[in-house]
């Protein structure tokens, strides 16, 4: 697999560029996007009628967001990216947008070794799990999956996106104020937005005018933006519960340099390898209170490490249903998944996700054809056994 040379982009109000994908298994945007619940979470917007993915993406200045529309014609070896709301897009911005789309769709990942172990996945060209433009967004969304219903997860992601424009304005204001004083604003130095206080931006130049192309959509908050708030403020606006502190600690760790997520953000060519970088990021994640095995395994999956299955109540439900292990419980689940998926090492999580996706689509139909008003219904059900919470997703530790 290799990339085609990028076509020259059109810079008049939109960017149209091609990212090529050569593969004997082919590529399909619909199945490449709609294979993980993240595609249902704000700010992603999938259109079943046009098979188009839309969402805001940040430009290289780190603050400006533009609307990106991603499409794919089945007989073409590349996806097309249209970017709206800009009169001129620099080469740097164009390259950044392409890299973010590449990351989301995992266009450069080679699945050959996984497909050798899993012929059924090869037949369906399965293996490129959808993810976010940044690993930070992935990590926050993994936290939002913990100990709550899927409906609650979706609402929390939506609330964070609704908060983002205000955080962007405050960040711009504080950065501008510090610059005038000959200083550098560091968001991780301490929260700016606390408790129930309301922040008013008096400097009009610091107010970020919304890009009309976003059509009411807001981006997902960055680590700089979430480092601005304290737990009380974030809960007041987004009702995240105990997740608020974990998310803020994550943002502060990233901004202070203690957690180096960007080092693990690059697209990989060969998936599944377990190397020193896996040990490094695992150790970094474990230092953040609130990141348990389920969340860490999900984050590792987003990076491209598939040897750990994030076990929760959905895992127990699936193992009972598909593999006939009616006595599977939170006490036996680790041994059960090892027995079932060990033969796919180091791609155990991909094999598990293949089963989970097929099970969901057997119950709800193709996820790509669902209306977004029905996204909250996509969850299995599980009979309570040994205090396992019904219809819940989250940590079992």
Residues 293 and 367 in one domain: no
Residue 364, pLDDT above cutoff 70: yes
pLDDT reported for residue 206? 45
**Is the separation of the CB atoms in 315 and 293 below 8 Å?**
no
Residues 390 and 337 in one domain: yes
In a domain, 82, yes or no: yes
Q: Residue 181: how many CB atoms within 10 A of its CB?
A: 9
Domain boundary among 283, 304, 325: 304
What DSSP letter does each residue of 157-177 carry, written as one string? HHHHHHHHHHHHHHHHHHHHH
What CATH number corresponds to the domain at position 233?
Answer: 1.10.340.30
pLDDT reported for residue 74? 80
**Predicted confidence band of residue 24 (pLDDT cuts 50, 70, 90):** very low
Q: What is the mean pLDDT of residues 156-166?
A: 97
In a domain, 86, yes or no: yes
* CA-based end-to-end distance of the chain: 40
Residues 157 and 299 in one domain: yes
Residues 189 and 278 in one domain: yes
Instruction: Note the pLDDT tens digit of each residue in 179-203.
Output: 999 999 998 888 899 986 665 544 4
pLDDT reported for residue 389? 37
CA atoms within 13 A on the CB side of 63: 16
Average pLDDT of the chain is: 85
Q: Which residue has the higher pLDDT, 10 or 312?
A: 312
3 state SS for 320-338: HHHHCCCCCCCCCHHHHHH
Paired with 55 in beta bridges are 68
Distance CA 38, CA 58 (A): 18
pLDDT reported for residue 34? 98
Q: What is the mean pLDDT of residues 275-292?
A: 85
Residues 182 and 214 in one domain: yes
Residues 318 and 300 in one domain: no
Distance CA 217, CA 210 (A): 9
pLDDT reported for residue 5? 31
Backbone φ and ψ for 101, nearest 5 degrees, come out as -65, -40
Residue 265, pLDDT above cutoff 90: no
Q: Which residues neighbour 315 within 8 Å (Cβ) at sequence distance 6 or greater?
A: 309, 333, 337, 352
pLDDT reported for residue 150? 95
**Is the separation of the CB atoms in 49 and 30 below 8 Å?**
no
Residues 167 and 297 in one domain: yes
In a domain, 123, yes or no: no
Structural domain that includes position 317: 309-397
Residue 159, pLDDT above cutoff 50: yes
In a domain, 124, yes or no: no
Instruction: Note the pLDDT tens digit of each residue in 75-132.
Output: 777 788 888 877 778 889 988 998 999 899 998 888 999 999 999 999 999 999 999 9
Instruction: Give percent above pLDDT 70 in the chain.
Output: 81
The region that residue 284 occupies, defined by phi over 0 for left and psi between -120 and 50 for alpha, beta otherwise, is alpha
Which run of H or E residues covers position 33? helix 29-33
pLDDT reported for residue 110? 86
What CATH number corresponds to the domain at position 51?
Answer: 3.30.310
pLDDT reported for residue 85? 77
pLDDT reported for residue 263? 86
Residues 153 and 232 in one domain: yes
In a domain, 352, yes or no: yes
Residues 159 and 296 in one domain: yes
In a domain, 100, yes or no: yes
Residues 98 and 147 in one domain: no
**Predicted confidence band of residue 17 (pLDDT cuts 50, 70, 90):** very low
Q: Residue 275: how many CB atoms within 10 A of its CB?
A: 8
**Is the separation of the CB atoms in 64 and 213 below 8 Å?**
no
pLDDT reported for residue 235? 97
Angle at 14 between CA 13 and CA 18, to 5 degrees: 160
**pTM tops 0.75:** yes
Residue 143, pLDDT above cutoff 80: yes
Residue 385, pLDDT above cutoff 80: no
Residue 327, pLDDT above cutoff 70: yes
Residues 177 and 157 in one domain: yes
Domain boundary among 304, 324, 345: 304
Residue 18, pLDDT above cutoff 90: no
pLDDT reported for residue 388? 38
Number of residues that make up the chain: 397
**Predicted confidence band of residue 267 (pLDDT cuts 50, 70, 90):** low
In a domain, 129, yes or no: no
Residues 295 and 337 in one domain: no
Q: What is the mean pLDDT of residues 380-395?
A: 44
pLDDT reported for residue 3? 32
The count of structural domains within the chain is 3
pLDDT reported for residue 187? 86
Domain boundary among 304, 328, 358: 304
Paired with 71 in beta bridges are 80
In a domain, 121, yes or no: no
The first and second tokens of residue 238, run together, are 């987004």
The first and second tokens of residue 169, run together, are 């304005």
């Amino acid at each position: 697999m290799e990339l085609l040379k990028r076509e020259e982009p059109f810079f008049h109000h939109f960017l149209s560029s091609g990212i090529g994908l050569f593969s004997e298994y082919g590529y399909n945007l619909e199945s490449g996007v709609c294979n993980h619940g993240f595609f249902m979470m704000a700010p992603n917007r999938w259109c079943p009628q046009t098979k188009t993915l839309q969402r805001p993406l940040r430009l290289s200045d780190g603050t400006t967001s533009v609307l990106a529309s991603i499409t794919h014609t089945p007989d073409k070896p590349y996806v097309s990216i249209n970017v709206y709301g800009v009169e001129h897009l620099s080469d740097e911005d164009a390259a950044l947008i392409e890299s973010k789309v590449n990351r989301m769709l995992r266009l450069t990942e080679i699945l050959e070794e996984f497909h050798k172990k899993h012929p059924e996945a090869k037949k369906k060209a399965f293996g490129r799990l959808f993810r976010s433009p940044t690993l930070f967004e992935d990590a926050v969304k993994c936290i939002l999956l913990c100990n709550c219903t899927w409906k609650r997860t979706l609402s929390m992601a939506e609330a964070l996106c609704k908060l983002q424009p205000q955080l962007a304005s405050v960040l711009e204001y504080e950065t501008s104020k510090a610059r005038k004083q000959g200083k550098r604003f560091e968001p991780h130095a301490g929260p700016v937005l606390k408790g129930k206080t309301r922040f008013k931006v008096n400097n009009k130049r610091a107010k970020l005018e919304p890009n009309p192309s976003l059509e009411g959509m807001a981006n997902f908050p960055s680590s700089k933006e979430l480092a601005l708030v304290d737990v009380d403020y974030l809960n007041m606006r987004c009702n995240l519960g105990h997740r608020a502190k974990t998310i803020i600690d994550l943002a502060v760790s990233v901004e202070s340099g203690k957690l180096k997520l960007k080092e693990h953000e690059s697209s990989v060519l060969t998936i599944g390898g377990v190397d020193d970088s896996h040990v490094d990021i695992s150790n970094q994640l474990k230092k953040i209170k609130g990141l348990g095995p389920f969340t860490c395994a999900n984050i590792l999956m987003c990076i491209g490490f598939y040897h750990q299955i994030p076990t929760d109540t959905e895992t127990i439900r699936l193992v009972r249903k598909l593999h006939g292990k009616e006595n599977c419980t939170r006490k036996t689940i680790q041994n059960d998944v090892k027995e079932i998926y060990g033969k796919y090492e180091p791609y155990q999580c991909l094999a598990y996700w293949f089963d989970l996706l097929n099970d969901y689509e057997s119950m709800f139909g193709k996820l790509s054809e669902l209306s977004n008003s029905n996204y909250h219904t996509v969850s299995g059900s599980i009979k309570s056994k040994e205090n396992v919470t019904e219809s819940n997703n989250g940590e079992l530790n």
